[in-house]
Amino acid sequence: MNYKFSDRVPQSDTDPVGVILKVAGDPKVMSFAGGLPAPELFPVEQIKAAANKVLTEKGPAALQYGSSQGIPELRQVILGRLAIEGIKTDIDHVIVTTGSQQSIDLTGKMFLNEGDTVIVEDPTYLTAVDVFKSYGAHFVGVAMDEDGMRIDALEEALKNNPNTRLIYTIPTFQNPTGRTMTLARRTKLVELAEKYDVLILEDNPYGAIRWEGKNLPSLKSFDKNDHVIYMGTLSKILSPGLRLGWVVADPNLIKKYTMMKQSADLHTDSLAQYIAAEYFAANNIDEHVAGITDLYHKREQIMINAIDKYFPKEVKHSNPEGGMFLWVSVPGVQDSQKLFDAALKRNVAIVPGDPFFGNETIPGTFRMNYSNTPEAKIEAGVKLLSEAIEEVMGK
């Protein structure tokens, strides 16, 4: 059959990121490539107890079709998470989604027509790029520095692109750089969104995993005129397999999300929602997140110490105060793929920088993940990676 795909389907059959993650999954490869949480910290016993209780006490409701906006019990729990981000709201402002990935997809579907501009950080979350591309987005990348998206460059982009529909940003412990936007830039960003009457899509999967510095308020907490759509998820603080995320926006917009979600999947998995709500009722999530934070901090420190010991001095890396990723820049290297190939030859995997950019890339970059590698293995992996970098740099 000669399939006649819609314009939304990528023309190429090659999935470069899929290929990278597949090789990274080979047991003989030490992978700094994926973005997976540490599985040894999943609270399996507590989830088992929660599932038992839900099935015993609310079995029929948990196994039945449910509300497209999500069960009130979980939306109530989400309000508690939002309060930490400085967002005071009520459950009418919240819809439960099948993970942040669906929140991004529904947002693209709702706001983008072919050729509309999406402003993204340079670099940004690669799967958001794929989603917005599928809705025909034209990307404008805004340069970052260690303090997050550069606001002067953003204003320039807004001036030059009057058909901008969305500014997509991950202000805290950004994927892929691990960088965090300063407080001053956060307030300015919301001001600019109001001035140019553009929506911000604020994605915050990592904000709770902070080991240094003080918690910064979300962009949504500064939003007076409904210019910020906020997204959160349980994937990094509890379990990605539950597939539970949320969108926070004005109730009229939540109604539209609810309609769009109906046509996507009717509603988020009821059983998963009840189990998560029960988990929160019976356990202290803050203690659990503190355990995750301690472990990732330990792993990040080992990785940074090893990088400082082995990588050539010209190589730069970010210094995250939380989250799961480091961003590395190797000066003088034009093709990031060469770094991946040289590392893989030594059975180490990283993600080369290119897919993290909407259009123009920054050469010689790659992302490293530390959350998913046991402490005892990190230094040896970084040492092998340093040999790969030296080879590509011609040292």
Ligand X SMILES: Cc1ncc(COP(=O)(O)O)c(C=O)c1O
Tokens of 228: 């910020």
CB closer to ligand X, 186 vs 338: 186
User: Which listed range, 96-104, 111-119, 266-274, 287-295, lies at the site for ligand X (CB under 6 A)?
Assistant: 96-104
Q: Which of residues 160-189 bind ligand X (CB under 6 A)?
A: 170, 175
Binding-site residue total for ligand X (CB under 6 A)? 13
**254 token code pair:** 């939540």
Between 130 and 379, whose beta carbon lies closer to ligand X?
130
Q: Report the sign of the C-alpha dihedral through residues 345, 346, 350, 353, in that order.
A: negative
Residue type, 146: E
Out of 99, 323, 352, 381, the only residue in the binding site for ligand X (CB under 6 A) is: 99
**In this structure, is the dihedral angle defined by the CA atoms of residues 334, 14, 231 and 304, taken in order, positive or negative?**
negative
Q: In Å, what is the CA distance from 383 to each residue of 30, 327, 388?
A: 12, 17, 9
Asked if residues 361 and 134 have their Cβ atoms less than 8 Å apart, the reply is no
User: Is there a contact between 135 and 163 (Cβ–Cβ < 8 Å)?
Assistant: no
Stretch that binds ligand X, among 12-20, 99-107, 304-312, 357-365 (CB under 6 A): 99-107
What is the β-pairing status of strands 228-233 and 199-203?
A: parallel
Q: Does 218 bind ligand X (CB under 6 A)?
A: no
Closest CB 110 distance from ligand X, rounded Å: 17
Minimum Å gap between C-beta 103 and ligand X is 8
User: Looking at 98-106, 222-230, 269-277, 305-313, which segment touches ligand X (CB under 6 A)?
Assistant: 98-106
Does 235 help bind ligand X (rule: CB under 6 A)? yes
CB atoms within 10 A of CB 97: 29
Give min distance, CB of 206 to ligand X, in A: 7
Could you say whether residue 69 binds ligand X (CB under 6 A)? no
Is position 363 an interface residue for ligand X (rule: CB under 6 A)?
A: no
* 35 counts as binding ligand X under rule CB under 6 A: yes
- Using the contact rule CB under 6 A, the part of the chain among 187-195, 232-240, 283-291, 386-394 near ligand X is 232-240
DSSP conformational letter for 171: -
Residue number, 99 or 320, with CB nearest to ligand X: 99
The sign one gets for the Cα dihedral 368, 305, 374, 145 is negative
Secondary structure letter of residue 137 according to DSSP: P
Residues 105-144 that bind ligand X (CB under 6 A): 125
Which of 204, 386 has the CB closer to ligand X?
204
239-268: contacts with ligand X (CB under 6 A) = 240, 245
> Using an 8 Å Cβ cutoff, are 120 and 140 in contact?
yes
By CB under 6 A, name the one of 85, 202, 203, 300 that touches ligand X: 203
The residue number with the shortest CB distance to ligand X is: 99
142 close to 157: Cβ distance less than 8 angstroms: yes
Minimum distance from CB of 325 to ligand X (Å)?
A: 8
Task: Indicate the residue among 129 and 315 with the shorter CB distance to ligand X.
Answer: 129
For 214-308, strand residue ranges (E) read 228-233, 245-248
Please select the residue that binds ligand X; options are 205, 320, 352, 363, rule is CB under 6 A.
Answer: 205
- Considering the complex, state which of residue 66 and residue 207 has its C-beta at the smaller distance from ligand X: 207
The answer to whether residues 35 and 324 touch, using CB atoms and an 8 Å cutoff, is: yes
Report the SS3 class of residue 138: strand
Closest to ligand X by CB, 69 vs 233, is: 233
Distance in angstroms (rounded) separating the CA atoms of residues 111 and 114: 10
Give the C-alpha separation, 130 to 356, whole Å: 10
Contact residues for ligand X (CB under 6 A)? 35, 99-101, 125, 170, 175, 203, 205, 233, 235, 240, 245
